[in-house]
């Protein structure tokens, strides 16, 4: 049974890769528009989801410039309306849909998707690195330290890497919630190990994001450019197993797939993208199961 499932999955992957790459990228991009943020449904995003779904249900629309122009317009409008509440990957998805729209009017859409994917990845990580270097709270580790103590999505990292107990993390949430009511100074519970871990992780993040930016933006640096896929995959696997942000991991894997010409690397990107709903929450699930068993 398991062997048959694996065989069918591999056959499905090969069928997807056998079609023109631009068509595959348009399909996956439409799927991402339909699914991203589905757990926080907003009526204002219903038109873009319905149009993206129509692209998938009507194959003749998939490469239609008018359809992608409409989709990019809807995403752009929603970005303008709700810009202050959007997170980084939502802007990135909008930019990518614009790239897909541009590719539909190109004689060779594959190279258009590839070069723009490289540039978007490079610029995304470049600006992220610049922000971290300019902000002192990242250089001294305080930003990541505070995030580990307060963000429930990072409880796995705080427990495993900083040895902070669940009770202390719960107390930190209570303390932080009371700050808005009392405005009195308060200290969060932490450990010296988490302090040093936060600093180490901060510099690791700056280093790998900076390397990814250079590798994608400067193809003349041939040795580093050749390592770009490995660096990006390393970042995705080490970051989003601790911080399970589905849409951000998905858009990076999708753009990674769009920009590489290596069949083997295309296969890796596609498999990770298709299995994202399984492997992304797995570490968190194991962590919470072990925590529950341990009392």
* pLDDT for 183: 63
In whole angstroms, what is the distance from residue 159 CA to residue 154 CA? 9
* pLDDT for 55: 96
Note whether residue 51 is domain-resident: yes
Note whether residue 70 is domain-resident: yes
* pLDDT for 207: 96
In whole angstroms, what is the distance from residue 163 CA to residue 160 CA? 6
Number of domains in the chain: 1
Note whether residue 55 is domain-resident: yes
**What would the DSSP string read from start to end of 15-76?**
HHHHS-HHHHHHHHHHHHHHHTTGGG--GGGHHHHHHHHHHHH-GGGTT-HHHHHHHHHHHH
Note whether residue 292 is domain-resident: no
Note whether residue 60 is domain-resident: yes
Instruction: For residue 248, give Cα distances in angstroms to 94, 136, 264.
Output: 12, 25, 23
* pLDDT for 45: 85
**What would the DSSP string read from start to end of 168-234?**
HHHHHHHHHHHHHHH---------HHHHHHHHHHHHHHHHHHHHHHHHHH-TTSHHHHHTHHHHHHH
Note whether residue 241 is domain-resident: no
Domain that holds residue 26: 17-105
* pLDDT for 68: 97
State pTM to two decimals.
0.92
Note whether residue 42 is domain-resident: yes
Would you write out the chain's pLDDT as a tens digit for each of its 295 residues? 578 889 999 999 999 999 999 999 999 999 999 998 777 778 888 999 999 999 999 989 999 999 999 999 999 998 898 877 788 889 999 999 999 999 999 999 999 999 999 999 999 999 999 999 987 778 888 888 888 888 877 788 888 888 888 888 888 788 877 776 666 677 888 888 989 999 999 999 999 999 999 999 999 999 999 999 999 999 999 999 888 889 999 999 999 999 999 999 999 999 999 999 998 888 777 777 766 665 5
3-state helix, strand, coil in the chain (%, to 5): 80, 0, 20
Note whether residue 293 is domain-resident: no
């Amino acid at each position: 049974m398991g062997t048959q499932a694996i065989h069918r999955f591999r056959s499905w992957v090969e069928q997807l890769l056998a079609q023109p790459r631009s068509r595959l990228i348009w399909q996956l991009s439409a799927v991402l528009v339909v699914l991203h943020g589905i757990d926080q449904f907003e009526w204002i995003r219903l038109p873009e989801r319905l149009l993206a779904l129509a692209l998938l249900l009507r194959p003749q629309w998939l490469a239609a410039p008018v359809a992608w122009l409409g989709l990019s317009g809807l995403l752009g409008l929603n970005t303008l309306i709700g810009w202050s509440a959007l997170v980084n990957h939502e802007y990135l998805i909008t930019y990518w849909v614009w790239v897909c729209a541009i590719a539909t009017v190109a004689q060779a859409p594959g190279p258009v998707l590839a070069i723009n994917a490289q540039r978007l990845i490079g610029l995304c990580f470049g600006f992220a690195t610049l922000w971290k270097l300019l902000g002192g709270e990242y250089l001294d580790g305080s930003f990541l330290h505070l995030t580990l103590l307060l963000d429930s999505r990072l409880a796995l990292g705080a427990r495993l890497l900083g040895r902070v107990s669940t009770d202390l993390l719960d107390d930190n949430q209570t303390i932080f919630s009371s700050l808005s009511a009392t405005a009195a100074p308060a200290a969060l519970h932490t450990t010296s190990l988490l302090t040093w871990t936060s600093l180490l992780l901060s510099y690791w993040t700056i280093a790998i994001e900076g390397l990814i930016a250079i590798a994608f933006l400067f193809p003349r640096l041939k040795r580093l450019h050749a390592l770009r896929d490995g660096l990006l995959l390393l970042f995705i696997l080490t970051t989003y197993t601790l911080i399970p942000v589905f849409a951000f991991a998905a858009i990076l894997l999708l753009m990674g797939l769009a920009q590489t010409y290596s069949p083997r690397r295309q296969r890796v990107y596609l498999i990770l993208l298709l299995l994202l709903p399984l492997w992304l929450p797995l570490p968190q699930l194991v962590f919470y199961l072990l925590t529950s068993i341990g009392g």
